[in-house]
Structure 1
Amino acid sequence: MKKKMAFIDLSNFHDWPMGGMLEYELAILEGLVKRFEIDIWGVSVDGIKPAPIKINGKEYNVNVFANVKTKNKIIPNYLRGMFIYGQKKIMKGHYDYYYAHTASCLVGIGFFEKNAKLIYHQHGLNYLQDHSLMQSIQRPFYTKAQKDADLVFVVSDTKSVKKYESMMKHKHHISAKYVSVRSPIRINNFDALRVQKRIDSSKNVDLKNFIYTGRLSKFKNAKLLVEVFKEYVKDINPKAKLTIVGSGEEAEDIEQKINNYDLKGKVKMLGAVKHDKIYDLLMTSDAFLTASGGEGVSVSVAEAYAAGLPVVCFNVPGLSGQVVDGVTGKIAFSQTEAGFFDAMKYVNDNHTELALNCMEAAKKYDSEKISNLITEKILSL
């Protein structure tokens, strides 16, 4: 008989919030439902209850424990994860495992559930470098969730996770077991033959199509991409294009920079788009750019690999372990616009070899392998 699991996140599991974390969860659920009897717990958005989600051909209802708002918020959405406590009468004693992907959700469960196993999934270690107001609000919940948990998955490389585990256990006396995991991608969604054909056709020509996908926040630093791309157009390929996919507080500033540099026809901002569209955009690009201040194990980078796109990035936590310098992309060790531009030139000059290496590297992120790892670690508790 399958053991029962409550799979919980501050999400409607459809389109809120947009981004890699949602894709991560949907990918691993395909494996988890094979081994556990799962109830999915999520939220409504602006009062709209989510429709069921389809996993491996079967529909699963999203049990709503809270409502999040896209505007006029008095209580920050992140804190609404605590509202899971309101389901105490229904949930307590009903599940063998609680698997939460938002720390505030696990904290709420920890107040009433003492017998089941609690699992927390920490999506990266960015918060250690990101000192924005939102991260300051969330930081105490990260710590409390790990104190309550029996098992903590951390989306980062093994070396970083071991260092993080040592720090958390020493500083906060945490007893949970820590496990490093990669970000899963659905490799079958990428047509390898089509990718190979595009790589072959771009031999000995300057790269034309660049892409960034992710949040448009100060920490992600997408404004710098426009600065550097301006130089690439001027010095290397005047026909080059840059596509920026995502939304966030920096969107207007980026749009202004595009206008100031007269790049309106060369830099396209698409806002938040559905993930199926992102697959199409990656398949028609040549290289992936990110000036982020740090990542966990980036879904965007892993999907870029599957599409045969070398990655240009800075030498920052997460990315420095995921991007192999001179193999799957180029790391700008000088964290300047000039350093990033030099890295773009390297990728332009060595594109074919890098692109083929990326396709091979993508196999490590196969969602089935990662879901199996997560399942085995949970069952071993």
Structure 2
Amino acid sequence: MAKIQAIRGMNDILPEQTPVWQFVESTVRKVLAQYGYQEIRMPIVEQTDLFKRSIGEVTDIVEKEMYTFEDRNGDSLTLRPEGTAGCVRAAEEHGLLFNQTRRLWYTGPMFRHERPQKGRYRQFHQIGVECFGMSGPDIDAELLILTARLWKELGLAEHTRLEINSIGTSESRKVYRSALVEYLGQFKAELDADSQRRLDTNPLRILDSKDPATRKILEQAPNLDDFLDDESRDHFDRLKALLNAAGVRYSVNPALVRGLDYYGKTVFEWITDSLGAQGTVCAGGRYDGLVEQLGGKPTVAVGFAMGLERLILLLETLNLVPGYVNSDADVYVTAMGDGALAPALVLAEKLRAALPERVIVSHCGGGSFKSQMKKADRSGAKYTVILGENEIANGTAGLKPMRADEPQTEIAQDELASALTKALAN
């Protein structure tokens, strides 16, 4: 019978890989807690209409990439392709936005049926941050300052750069869209296939085309900045002043637009040059109209999402994963003979109570002294505690250094925890 394997583009995260995931997740949690952000957890399945109304029916995500199915009641459901819409739905449904500001964050898997490649998968994990009820550029700046702090905590400050832009209000974008379509229509036959299709559906996305011929045509295209409304321009100018005051370096990219219909005014991306074509590690912007678009009262909002797979790939590519981030044991406790099984388990529990920050692994499954020591070595443990009938009779335990050429010593069991505390501190 053929083995069942994981679905293409949906990867298992194995025990050897999870420590770096836990390191990144715990670092993000710590930074977000410093800024007063609260975690929210939403279902991975939502009504399909939620994404059609938020992302836009003529976007690539809705047209080609969503995992959509009918349940037994005939309802159209979709595995979430992104987190913002679900967060807005949950916050509105449970009254979290009524006459108050909110700073929320979430993490979990997202799903898009696109071609798997390095740093891009069909199931991928995001951390999303969403802020509601704050209209000024100060909250935009806070998000970017927060992210800059996170890069510093992860050692990525010198390997990421910030690009920002303002895409104005929906009204000013309509005027610009008409001018852009009129200009590009003259060169439709020369545009790449994706851009030709987008000319009729989502023309602003043509601005971030990577096709050389299309890029050449765009050099003479109308500039979005020339169509900005006064409110958006003032908001953007104030944001830049705040970033300057905070010492957050950035560049303005006039071609920066986001692929989701709900964005307006501020948009931004954090980019790395160390991952080739998949260079965006964090992206977001303002979406002041989305809450109302999904049936709520008008509520201003801004947020971002970062892909964990890509972030971890960047850390590993640059060899920036700290040495202490691993799944190795600190202490491996062996039991030599059936009579040592219970005493070894009890001793291991005492060590866990005394050394709560350390990983104490008990050997289970029996075996000879040689086989147990092999498993102790494979565990990565720095020290092995050896407990046999003689040690039990004497109230002692053998303590063998595993990563240094030092002799095994006999230590009283009631002194073992303090001896390990000192030894592991070195």
Q: TM-score range by the shorter chain?
A: under 0.3
Q: TM-score, normalised by structure 2?
A: 0.23
Q: TM-score, normalised by structure 1?
A: 0.25
Q: Which has the larger radius of gyration?
A: 2
